[in-house]
Amino acid sequence: MAKAKMKTNKTAAKRFKVTAKGKIKYWKGGISHYNTKKTSKRKRQGRKAKYVPENIRDKVAALIPYEV
């Protein structure tokens, strides 16, 4: 009997992308509204993508098994 496929966590698949070098990239939330009280630096840094830290990379990679 064939081994069962792992299911991809669809929520994680929409939030994380894997780069060509294998890093997991994500975009920080919370910058689309209530921007008047936020500093320019905070809004500017929110536009940039971040990378998942090494200490939780394995946990995130388990949620998107066929992407990594």
Q: 């920080």: which residue's tokens?
A: 28
Residue whose entry in the numeric block shows the structure tokens 């929409």:
14
Instruction: Report which DSSP code applies to 26.
Output: E
In this structure, which amino acid lies at residue 61? A
**How does pLDDT run along the chain (68 residues), one tens digit per residue?**
888 899 999 999 999 999 999 999 999 899 999 999 999 999 999 999 999 999 999 999 999 999 88
Q: How many CB atoms lie within 10 A of CB 24?
A: 22
- Structural domains in the chain plus CATH codes: 10-63 (4.10.410.60)
Helices (H) and strands (E) in the chain, counts: 3, 3
Strands (E), the chain: 16-18, 24-27, 49-51
